[in-house]
Each structure stands twice: as C-alpha cells, then as structure tokens.
Amino acid sequence: MGELKERMLRRQKDLAEGRHPSLELHEKDTIKWEVLYTRLLGMVQEGRETTRLISSSPTVREFGESVFCIFTPEGDVAAFSRGILLHFASFSATIKWMLNMDYEEDPGFKDGDIFCNNDPQIGGAHSADVATIQPVFYRGRLVAWVGGLTHVMEVGGTEPGGTSPSALSRYDDGLMFTAQKVGENDRFFKDYHINVSRNTRDGNWWILDDLAKLVGCVKMKKALVDLIEEYGLDYYETAVYEMIEEGRRFAVNKIRTVLFPGTYRTVNFYDVLNAEQPLRFQKDYCVHEPLEMTVTKDGRLTLDYDGLSSPGYHANNSSLICATGLHIYQLIQEVLYDGMFNAGVLGGLKVNIPENSVLNPDIQYACSIWATAKTAAGGCFQRALSRAYFAKGFREEGLASKAITSAVFAGGVDENGRLFSVVNNEMNSSGAAAASNKDGLDASNSVWNPEANLSDIEPFEPIWPLKWLGRGVQTDGGGYGKHRGGATIASLYVIEPPVKFVESGCFMSGDKVFLSAGTMGGYPAPARYRYTLVDTNFAEVAGQTDLPLPHEEGDPTDPDFARLLNGTLRRTPGQSASVQFKRYDLIYQTSGGGGGWGDPLERSPQVVVKEINRGLISPKTAERVYGVVAAKPSEDVPFVLDEEKTAGWREEMKKVRLKRAIPTREYVARARADILGGKFAPVVKETYNDCFQNSPRFLREYREFWDLPETFVGF
Amino acid sequence: MATRKTVWSGDVLRDLSDGNLDLQVLLEMQRGVKEDDRFEAMLAVEQGKVGWPEKILVPIGEHLYVVDKSGDKIVKCSCGHELGDYRQSWKNDAVVYVRDTEEALDEIYPGPRKCDVTWMHLREYYCPGCATLLEIEAVPPGYPIVFDFLPDLE
C-alpha cells in the first residue's frame, strides 16, 4: 500500500473514532496561524480569479462557474475559493479515489503531473464539470494537491451545451475522463486535446478552459511552495490539520447554538417528462425525495433519505458525490458561513443516502441534469433547517424552498459552416426563496454558486443564433406568502441570423409538480414550462414600424408572442429535449421562482400595490391570493389601494377558507377510500410502489397512517 | 466559541418575531455572532405577544407554539385555539382545503402555471379558530400528512 493511501486510511479511522488533533500552534501564536489561513484562502481565490479573467468561456468569465482549492496530501480540503461550492466534496472524492485505486504506484505522482476528471461518480456533478488536479511537491515530497474546475460548455453527449436532457444512461452523458493523467511537466498531452477536439462539437471551450485552469493551478502551486518555504514544512502541515479541526469544532458548536434539537420531516417531488419526448425510452417519472433531519443537543446533524425513489433511465439522477456536495454547500451557506472554509465543515454532519436511489445511483445511470435531484433534496434540507432556526429564535436565518433553476442550450452549424455549442446560464438566475422577515430577491439566485452572475447578453449573442427580444422578471413568478419568493427570470428569443442548422432544448423539471415549496403558510412557486412559436411572420411584423413586437409573456393563458405574431404555439415541459428550429422561430424560457413564507393575507397591502405597479404581481393575484383591492383611477395612472375594501375582502376570504375547508380527520377518512380504491394516476402508483420496495419503513409508515391491512404492499 | 448574550432590544426582537424587522437591522443581525441566550429572549417576546396564560415551550411555526397546559404539552395557535398533543402532527386538529381540481388551482395558478392535479395537489391547513393559513403541503394524492417537527423537549 502506498504511503499516502496508508495516511488517508489512518486519518479516516482516527476521525471516525473521535481522535482529533489539538490546536497547539493556534494557542501558541494565533496571529501567525490566522495569517497562514488567510493566505491559503487568498491563494485559492487568486487561482479562481486568474482563470476567470483569461477564460474564453462566458459561462466561466461572466457567470462565474469555476472553483479552486488546496488539499492535504490525503485529499481533505484545506482551503476553498468562492464559486461553485457544490464541488467542495467532489474534488476531495477524486483525490481519495486515486489513492484508493493505488495511483501512487501506477501511474505514480510526479511534480508537474496533470490529472483530469469529469466522471460524476467520483467527482464533479456531471460530465460538464471538468476538473484539473495537480500534486504539489516540496523538496521531492508530495505535500499537497491543488485543483481547479470549470463548467465546460461542450462535452459531447446527446445534445450540445454540455448537459443533455435526452441522456438516458451514463453512455449518453458525453466524453468522460475518469481521474486520468492528461499531462506532465505542467503541459497537457497533445493526444488528450486531440481526443477532446475530435469528440466534442466545439473542443475550444474545453481546451481553452483547461489552459486557463492550468495557469491558475501552476500559480497556486508556486505560491504554496513559497509559503511552505517561509513557514517551514512541519509548521505548515501541523497548522493545516489544526485548521480543519478548528473548522470541525466550530461546526459542532454552531449547530448546537442555532438549531433546536428534534426531528424534522420534509418532502419534495420532481417530474421527468420523457413520455412525449423524441427519445428511445419514453417514460414519465415522478420522483420522491423525503428527508428526516435530526438535530441533537450536542450539535450533531443527521440527514436520512430513507424512502427515496430508484434511479431511472433519464438524465435527472445525481451521483452520491454530488448529493454529498449538495449538503455541504447548503450547510456552508446557511449555517457555517462564518466558520473555517475547509473539511472541518463535515464535522457535525452525517448523511444517509440509500444505495441504488436517485441520489446514489450505480454507474450505468445518466447524471447530466443532476441538479433536479439535488434541488429537490436541497429544498427539503433548507425547509428543515429553517424550522430548526425558527424554533431556536434565529429568525433572521432560514428560507423556504430554494428555486429550481434552468438553462437553455443550442448547437448546430452557423452561417459560416462552423460547429457551435453553447449553454446560456442566465436561467440560473432563479428567484431566491422567501424568509421570515423578507422577500426572496428576484432573478438573483443560483444556490450552488453563491458568487454567480446573471451575465450580460452581449457575450452570448455573437456565439449562438438566439437573440433576445426581451429579458425580465416574470409577473407572479415566485411563491406567494406574507413574504413572497423571488420571481424567476424570463427571456424571449428569436432565431436570427439564418444559420445552417440549429437545435435547442432546455432543462430542468417542475412542470407537472410544484418543485419550490413554500413554508409556514407560504405557497410553492409556479410550475415551469417553455413556449415555442414556430413558422412565424416575425420578419413581416418586424419590418413594419407601426406593429408592436412581443418582448415578454404577458398573460400566461394568452401570451403576447402568440397574440402579436402568427405562428404555431407549443407549450413544452420545463425540461425539453433538443429539437430543430429555424430562422424567426421564437422561444420563451423561464427559470424557477422561490417558495413563499407565511400566510399571504398577512402581506402588507401597500407593498402588494407597489408591486402591481412594478409589474411583479398581477391585479388578479393581488385580489385572489393577497386579498388586496386596488384600482386605477384612470388608465394612465398607477393602481391605488382601497384600504377599506381590502380589509373587508380579507375578512371575507377568511370566512371562505373556513367554509370550504373540512376537519383534517374527515379529509383523511375520505382520502383513505381513494387509497383503498387505488384511484391514482399510473405514474403516482408507480412512484409509491417503487418506494415501498425500496424502504420497508416507508411502507410500514404508509400502512400505519392510512390504517391499511398488513397485506397491503402496494397499488 | 465564547458565550454571547443577546445585544438586541426587546423592540428589535419583537419586530423580528412579527416578520417586520427593518432590512438594515436584519442584515446586521445576520452578520453578527449568534447569541447563546437568543432562545430565552425570543420566548419572552413570544409570551408577551399572546393573550393566553400557558407557558410557551417552543415555537414550531408561524403562529404555532408548543405550550405547557397543566403539565400536558400541547400545540396552540396564537389565537388560542388548541391543536392537540405535540407528539402528533397539529395538522390532525386543523381544517384543510385541498386544491385537487384544475378550477381550484387555476384560481391562483392560471393556465400553464399550475401543476397537474393527477400528479400533485395542494393541501392548505388553516387554524379553525382564526382561519390563518398555517402550512401548505404540495404532494401527490394519497401521500400521508407530513409531521413537520417533533421538538426534543425531554
């Protein structure tokens, strides 16, 4: 067994058995220790910024889809940059995987080696997450690892853009390198980049990102060696483990301080609508993600996903590495944001994700659109955390369910005969979830990358044929509540110029189900969908100055683009496989809104009217959901609140609530009859049956709740 | 982590409890170190808000508390309505309106904005005493009622 592998296994055993290092160096000279930590953070941040500034990809440069880190020789995170926090766990997993697979012996580790991984089963979330990893040597000894990762806009696969909603197995996910040595002496192998170039639609995105990441890594390596020279290797190595230990102690103490002990339960569902897509396996899925979160008085946090759905032949599975990363980035953002930014954050956390589930599939399953499984589970975790904060009195923290995000991609052959492939990450600007004391921000939020940017449209317009007719915030686009969820971004594109071929699709789920749940009386954000308008008279209308062009959706039941233009209108799911478009076709795309918080009838009527006048809430929703009566005194002036009518209408709405509601016990008795009669849609029955098979506990609790006989094993 | 006492005034905590805290103060609070006695400070604020005598043990949601009623631990709404033993879901003693038709969903999620009622419906739980909307479940038909939170009060 190699020395590093032996060290890794010893350390894992020590931590599992509760043997933690002391903080001797910290206690001896705190300032020196803290300066070292800050300099490590500075290094990873500099690596990221260097890469971002020289990357050719707007996804990396504009949106900020990158992250850099420094690791211990055993693969534990010593310092982590801002960016895609999701990969906190995934980089570590790749290094540990290499050690477990005895890479020390073959291919061996040498100064200047470069390893690439985009296999989501051992690192990253999907094949578009391409990591560059290098060992760091000091006086001939491997003393650390550095790594950089970017989201690459084209990796092959069934569809352009690096992510493939029509992927039905791992083998559709695109070109993969499984922790492969791809360079020596700080140079990539020529044949590696030839491979990338010939097996992706536009290899430049991958190759240029590789070069940008290598610059960041080499810079970090040099800075780290200089730092070790300055501090001495013994001090550096001891201090790094102390930093992780300090992070662990902080995590346990913070959880104990801010979360109320108890057992919390939440559930989310997501849909995969493949039955009517142009795919070789046409089947719909309704995926069940239940969470039981336990907080103990001594600061331990356990997450149990017993009862999960099985993985499926669709793109929306998430690897275990990715699911683990999900919990870590949420914990960092929502609880441990003021702690140490290293492997210590794992200190108080235990996660149980059953094998052969959507969050832990075996190798055959596709993970291209991992984020659906992650977002649904993340919404469960977020609401459970929020209630734990709420109970403990820390109401400045906590959120309803985060929003699902989306993306539009396109590829084909441009007007000059060049292959192109682009994913536009503007749809990651979903609405943030509402909180107990504030609304969620509109078009602002990408939960796995807290330093993301919506990005300008100008860098995208020259590289793909989707041109913006409008980009804005969707009216009523967040979950209703006393504090409303942030509304989703919405864009309207027209295909222009006349390229030789263009295909386009989008992801993710949340069409037949609400995916971003509200909490404590707040409503979920609306369902997601895409409109396309094809065979249009756009050229004719655009050529006439007296005819208005559409720029937004308007009334969702009678959208502007179908009203102002001729053409064939189609509503397709929020996740739609790629199909061919032509010049002057239109695509209307949204992301997701955040869940709402609290009873909407408690929302300030003045704020509601202000938002009607800003186009964020429709007058109909103001009246039907918020109980607010407002009117325009005349056509050209804003809406004005009618306080008296509002007060009366809200009282009336409360009477209606009690009139049409029934006692819950009565509802349960009625619903039981439906269960005994099996009166559910086939896809819902299939979901229950799958989860009953996966989890004896779920089946037992189902029987107990509905008072079903022991003979009941499914529908 | 050193022990920290609450630095926030009763008025600030009251605004926080009401959900109306000034945004700048809220941000300051988010950036600050969390206090060890916040729970007790907020309990005092909550007790001062309600018009009934039972001692609040822990808030479990907007308007909802576990209280000590003559030695029994029960759930109570801020209006005073009682919702049963805390070891079972308070939803059992609430009233519920289920949006399980297209018409009911269209009322608030027009056209393409609604879910498919054969896949999912909304259960809106109200307090029978004050008609406050306390929780919404978005689940497929036939899903058991979710027991959101069992606090560890032992």
* pLDDT tens-digit readout, A203-234: 999 999 999 999 999 999 999 999 999 999 99
pLDDT at A452: 73
Is A526 in contact with B1 (Cβ distance < 8 A)?
no
What mean pLDDT comes out for the span A191-209?
Answer: 97
For residues B4 and B7, give the distance between their C-alpha atoms in angstroms, rounded to a whole number.
Answer: 9
Does residue B137 belong to any structural domain of this protein?
no
Does residue B117 belong to any structural domain of this protein?
no
The answer to whether A679 and B147 are in contact (CB under 8 A) is: no
To 10 degrees, the CA torsion angle through A382, A387, A392, A393? Answer: 90
Tokens for A612, please give them.
């009607």
Is B34 in contact with A661 (Cβ distance < 8 A)?
no
Minimum-distance CB partner of B62 among A263, A529, A598: A598
Does residue B34 belong to any structural domain of this protein?
yes
pLDDT at A204: 96
Point out the residues of chain B with pLDDT beneath 70: 1-3
Minimum-distance CB partner of A681 among B93, B118, B138: B118
pLDDT at A484: 98
pLDDT at A456: 87
What mean pLDDT comes out for the span A47-73?
Answer: 92
The answer to whether A439 and A483 are in contact (CB under 8 A) is: yes
Residue A175: pLDDT above 90? yes
Query: Could you check whether the bond before residue B140 is cis, i.e. omega within 30 degrees of 0?
Result: no
- With a CB cutoff of 8 Å and minimum separation 6, the contacts of B90 are B60, B64, B75, B83, B84, B134
The answer to whether A569 and A562 are in contact (CB under 8 A) is: yes
The answer to whether B68 and B54 are in contact (CB under 8 A) is: yes
Does residue B29 belong to any structural domain of this protein?
yes
Cα angle at A56 between A430 and A174, to 5 degrees?
A: 70
DSSP A360-397: B--TTS--TTHHHHHHHHHHHHHHHHHHHHHHHT-TTS
Residues of B in contact with A438 (CB under 8 A): 23, 26
Query: Could you check whether the bond before residue A682 is cis, i.e. omega within 30 degrees of 0?
Result: no
Residues of A in contact with B126 (CB under 8 A): 657-658, 661
Is A269 in contact with B120 (Cβ distance < 8 A)?
yes
pLDDT band, very low/low/confident/very high, at A402 (cuts 50, 70, 90): confident
What mean pLDDT comes out for the span A368-376?
Answer: 89
Number of neighbours of residue A79 by Cβ within 10 angstroms: 26
Backbone angles phi and psi of A182, in degrees to 5: -125, 10
Domain count, chain B: 1
Residues of A in contact with B21 (CB under 8 A): 396, 437
CB hemisphere CA count around A514 (13 angstroms): 34
- SS3 at position A557: coil
- What would the 3-class secondary structure string for A121-182 be? CCCCCCCCEEEEEEEEEECCEEEEEEEEEEECCCCCCCCCCCCCCCCCCHHHCCCCCCCEEE
E-assigned strands of chain B? 55-61, 64-69, 72-77, 82-85, 95-99, 121-126, 133-139, 149-151
Is A513 in contact with B145 (Cβ distance < 8 A)?
no
Q: Could you tell me which of A627, A532, A620 has the C-alpha nearest to residue A580?
A: A532
- What would the 3-class secondary structure string for A454-491 be? CCCCCCCCCCCCEEEEEEEECCCCCCCCCECCCCCEEE
Mark which residues 480-519 of A lie under 8 Å from B by CB. Answer: 480, 482-483, 511-514, 517-519
Is B115 in contact with A513 (Cβ distance < 8 A)?
yes
What mean pLDDT comes out for the span A86-91?
Answer: 84
The domain of B9 spans 1-49
- With a CB cutoff of 8 Å and minimum separation 6, the contacts of B115 are A512, A513, A514, A527, B105, B109, B121, B138
Q: CA nearest A570 in B: which residue?
A: B112
Does residue B118 belong to any structural domain of this protein?
no
Is A520 in contact with B134 (Cβ distance < 8 A)?
yes
Does residue B40 belong to any structural domain of this protein?
yes
Mark which residues 386-415 of A lie under 8 Å from B by CB. Answer: 387, 390-397
Mutation target vs A (from B106, B120, B130; most A CBs, 10 A cutoff): B120
pLDDT band, very low/low/confident/very high, at A85 (cuts 50, 70, 90): confident
Amino acid at A232: G
pLDDT tens by residue, A306-339: 999 999 999 999 999 999 888 888 899 899 999 9
pLDDT tens by residue, A437-450: 999 999 988 877 87
The verdict on A117 touching B (C-beta cutoff 8 Å) is no
Number of neighbours of residue A338 by Cβ within 10 angstroms: 12
pLDDT at B92: 98
- Beta-strand pair B95-99/A187-188: unpaired
Minimum-distance CB partner of B97 among A524, A597, A660: A660
State the nearest Cα–Cα gap between B75 and chain A, in angstroms. Answer: 13
Longest dimension (CA), chain B: 56
Is A476 in contact with B113 (Cβ distance < 8 A)?
yes
For residues A324 and A374, give the distance between their C-alpha atoms in angstroms, rounded to a whole number.
Answer: 10
Does residue B25 belong to any structural domain of this protein?
yes
pLDDT tens by residue, A617-626: 999 999 999 9
pLDDT at B2: 57
Sign of CA dihedral A383, A387, A392, A396: positive
pLDDT tens by residue, A259-271: 999 999 999 999 9
Q: Could you tell me which of A7, A10, A37 has the C-alpha nearest to residue A245?
A: A37
Backbone angles phi and psi of B65, in degrees to 5: -135, 150
CB pairs under 8 A between A and B: 224
Residue A162: pLDDT above 80? yes
What mean pLDDT comes out for the span A595-609?
Answer: 98
Residue A545: pLDDT above 90? no
Q: Which residue has the tokens 């690897």?
A: A319
pLDDT tens by residue, A97-140: 999 999 999 999 999 999 999 999 999 999 999 999 999 999 99
pLDDT at A105: 97
- SS3 at position A581: strand
What mean pLDDT comes out for the span A479-494?
Answer: 97
Does residue B19 belong to any structural domain of this protein?
yes
Residues of A in contact with B144 (CB under 8 A): 701-702, 705-706
Residues of B in contact with A518 (CB under 8 A): 136
Question: How does DSSP classify residue B111?
Answer: G
For residues A35 and B50, give the distance between their C-alpha atoms in angstroms, rounded to a whole number.
Answer: 50
Is B141 in contact with A663 (Cβ distance < 8 A)?
no
